[in-house]
Structures are given as structure tokens and as C-alpha cells.
Amino acid sequence: MSLKNVHFILVRPQIGENIGAVARAIKNFNITKLRIINPRCQWPNEKAIATSVGAKDILKSSKIYNSLEKSVGDLDVVFATSSRIRKVNKRMISIVDLKKKISKKYKIGIVFGPEASGLSNDEISCADYLVKIPTNNKFNSLNLSHSAIIFCFELFKFFSKKQKIYNSCYKSSLATKSEINNFLNFIISNLDKKGFLQPDHKRNSMIRNINNIFHRINLSDQEIRILLGIFSTLNEINKKT
């Protein structure tokens, strides 16, 4: 199984913009299957298309159903989402434990209810698990697309085979210790001229702190040149005033 077998299912969605935002959310995480059951807004929906931005293809390929039962008929495991604890005989899990209930050989569905009310208890009955996103106990009102993207992230982590490594495209190399020390000598020399490193018995500790600051922050050689330019300019200004 892969992300190609993950299906996001929206039951009676009310707002076109939310449907578009869900399409955009799932495409960000390489999920392409969207099923919509009895949309309450006009469908196709121009606002959904506008909100989807670059995920119009997800909306165009989405499937429309007239019942939840039909929409999950070809799935192996179904997870229903809920923002509140229900008085139903249903296995309830936190989203952080979702990966423990997923088998890579099955087709799965993630079911979301309408924005105003969520899924009914009857609709939940068709699911294998009821899933809750841990939130503030006093406020648990997540937007539909916000809930969807949290599920997307958990599923994406589970199915990702390789750990992502991101390399900066910044080209300037790190400054050498010699370059940093020359810069520090320039600063300290000018601070001595201005009488900043006073009183004498504190001078060494002040210099030590200055050294720690600039050796700790991994400056590039370009950044060192900029700092030298800044302090040189300030020094020239002070000479003229």
C-alpha cells in the first residue's frame, strides 16, 4: 500500500472554499484521492476551484457519492474523525496512534463530517476506528482543512521511505577562524579606543563574551565582510562627529 491508496472522504461539506482547501492540503502530501458525499454547496463549485490553487486536478478527479456506505464500499479500513468523545461502542484512538492501526497492504479512508456538526453517530457506525486530534480541552474547533492537513502529515510520515534532508542553497562558505579572529581584533581594538572595555578588571571577561558570541553563530565569509563594512562605516562616522 502507498499514499495512492489513501482516500479522504468529505461527508456533506457545506462550504466550497473548505473543499478546495482540503484538496490543496492533501496534494501537498502526495495524496490524490478525494471523495465527496452529498455536498451542501453547489457542485462543481467555483470557490472550491479558486481555493484549491494548484490542486484543481484533485477536485476534477474527485468522486461524488450519494451515501457514505457506497463511498467506503471498496475500502479495507475506515477512520472516522471527531472533535469530541462520543457515547458509541467504537474503538477510539488519538491521531498520534494512527500509524499503529494502518496496514500497508490495505486501502484506507479518512472520513470528515460537515463543518457545523461533524459526523453523526449513524455515520460513525461504518468506521473501524474513531480518531481524535488532541487539542485544548476548552477549545477544540479546528477548521475542516486544518484537521485534514494534520491527518495528511501523519500519513505522509508513515509512508515516507526516506528521511528528508534539506540542504541550504546559500552559496557563501563559512568564515574561517582566522577571518573571525581578524574581525574580532578589529572590534576589540576600536572598543578599546572608545573606552568601552572598562573597568580593567572586567576587560578579559568582556572580550571572552564577545569571542563566544561571534564564534558561536557560524558566520559566513560574506557576513564577516558585511559586519566589517558596518563597523568600519560607524567608526568613520564617529570620527567625523
Q: How distant, in Å, are the alpha carbons of 11, 142, 145 from that of 115? A: 9, 9, 10
Band of residue 241 on the pLDDT scale cut at 50, 70, 90: low
- Average pLDDT for residues 41-60, to the nearest whole number? 95
Show Cβ contacts of residue 113 under 8 Å, excluding neighbours closer than 6 positions. 11, 12, 81, 82, 119, 120, 123
Band of residue 119 on the pLDDT scale cut at 50, 70, 90: very high
CA dihedral 26, 96, 107, 27 (to 10 degrees): 10
In a 10 Å sphere around its CB, with 0-12 CB exposed, 13-18 middle and 19+ buried, how is residue 100 labelled? exposed
pTM for the whole structure? 0.75
Of the candidates 62, 28, 13, 16, the residue with the CA atom closest to the CA atom of residue 155: 28
What's the mean per-residue pLDDT of the chain? 91
Residue 1 pLDDT: 55
Residue 212 pLDDT: 94
pLDDT in tens, 155-180: 999 888 777 777 777 777 889 999 99
Task: Tell whether the model's pLDDT for residue 102 goes beyond 70.
Answer: yes
